[in-house]
A and B are shown apart, each in its own frame.
Chain A
Amino acid sequence: MSAESSPRAINGRAPDVFRPSGWVAMREYSEDEPVDFAIVGSGAGGGTLACKLAEHGFSVVALDAGPYWRPLEDFASDEMHQSKLYWTDERIVDGENPLQLGSNNSGKSVGGSTVHFAMVSLRFRPEWFKSLSVLGYGADWPLDWREMWHYYAEVEQALKVSGPVNYPWGRNARAIRIARTN
């Protein structure tokens, strides 16, 4: 059954993305049943939040516009083919020097853009939290970078963000060494 033609996550189960044809149990609520939270968008923000709320005992539904993919069966490793993951409704870029965006700004799938974000998500550098006062542009954030560091660690674990074991900036900063072996 094609992911694009009919919903897969129904009848109390959702596709197991790690096993071909596999399923995992999914809590389901009827349309007239009240829930604690309804989250629009199941990507890096919405999906992670839905998970955390559910783990704390709340009833949660997450809404998304795209298919529930089975990566092991639905994907070929080909850029043009995988453009089916992109949400390509038109966004207008304007201004004096309009940015050229990519097609992969967001994803139209259960999982949002995490279906194609390549597990890359960089932490802010400490000075960027004080952009206006230290660097002279933008705005200062109302919180200190140290306050953010453990949140970064938590969300990187939740999203399985890839990167160096020791971050090259911020707390315990260590320059990245790239080993060359022959």
Chain B
Amino acid sequence: MKPIDMNERYPGYNVLNKRNSPSWNDQTREVIDARLAIDADFHRFCDEAEWQTLCAVCNQIIPQPDHRCPKVPIAAMVDQKLYSGKGDGYRDARLPAQSEAWRKGLAAINAEAALEGGKPFCELAQEQQRVVLLKVQKGEVASPAWEGLSPQLFFAKRLLHDVVTAYFAHPASWSEIGFGGPASPRGYVRMNFDRRDPWEASEARPGREEEARRENEHVG
């Protein structure tokens, strides 16, 4: 399946163009620069097998366009969260603590992959990876490695939660969906319906793609 390149909807929009505009202050630059500096290969929570599986899972859940640079380092951000031990503030009683759920879940995805294609998850063909994740999502698993961990709950409440949260915390995804990024210190001024502030992305509605591109070049 071809990933949808949302930049077609916000042509020419790059949230990082605002870095040196009045939209950002020193605090914003410090925080976002640190996020942009996350090394996509760095991991401290996962061992090598877990890391390979996690990277392949992230690619499958949120495929990113080949030409995007930089890509969101989703796996490294998930690893960082797990290493920090910082939780969400709540836990579904049916799931183990997040670090245990992830270790068990990644091992079980690998075990399921071995039954499906005789290889670790990361070495399966894209379509086979998709089949394995669909089985996990629906709870139609065969491996005993899921003992004590509900595949559906792990998929919906742990895996998707952490992968999607990491992805949408990165400026590359903000540019993709036309999100303005940090709203302070600039703040919203034009509060009426269908009006955008000059620091917000312009959406390319059919027939006005070039207009949107011109506006997005001046977003700041």
Contacts and interface: CB of A to CB of B under 8 A. Distances in A.
Contact of B27 (A75, A90, A102): A75
A91 B169 contact: no
- The B contact surface, by secondary structure, is loop
Contacts of A102: 89
A88 B89 CA distance: 4
Interface in B163-194: 165, 169, 181-185, 192-193
B90 A101 contact: yes
Contact of B91 (A74, A77, A92, A104): A92
A91 B87 CA distance: 10
B182 A88 contact: no
A79 B91 contact: no
B92 interface: yes
B35 interface: yes
A14 to B, nearest CB: 21
Interface string A67-99: 000000111111111010011111111100010
B41 interface: no
Interface string B58-96: 000000000000000000000000000011111111100
B143 interface: no
B128 to A, nearest CB: 31
Contacts of A104: 89
Interface in B122-152: none
B4 interface: no
A76 B91 contact: no
B90 A91 contact: yes
A157 interface: no
A92 B97 CA distance: 10
A80 B184 CA distance: 14
A87 B90 contact: no
B32 interface: yes
Given A77-B185, A80-B169, A100-B157, A91 B28 contact: no
A15 B30 CA distance: 22
Interface string A8-50: 0000000000000000000000000000000000000000000
A105 interface: yes
B31 interface: yes
Contact of A77 (B89, B92, B93, B182): B182
B171 to A, nearest CB: 10
A105 B89 contact: yes
A76 B89 contact: no
A177 interface: no
B192 A180 contact: yes
A90 to B, nearest CB: 5
Contact of A78 (B32, B86, B92): B32
A98 B169 contact: no
A101 B88 CA distance: 9
Nearest to A106: B89
Interface in A164-182: 180-182
Interface of B: 25, 27-28, 30-32, 35, 86-94, 97, 157, 165, 169, 181-185, 192-193
> Across chains A and B, which 3 residue pairs bring their CB atoms closest together, nearest first?
A77-B184, A77-B182, A94-B93
Interface of A: 73-81, 83, 86-94, 98, 100-106, 180-182
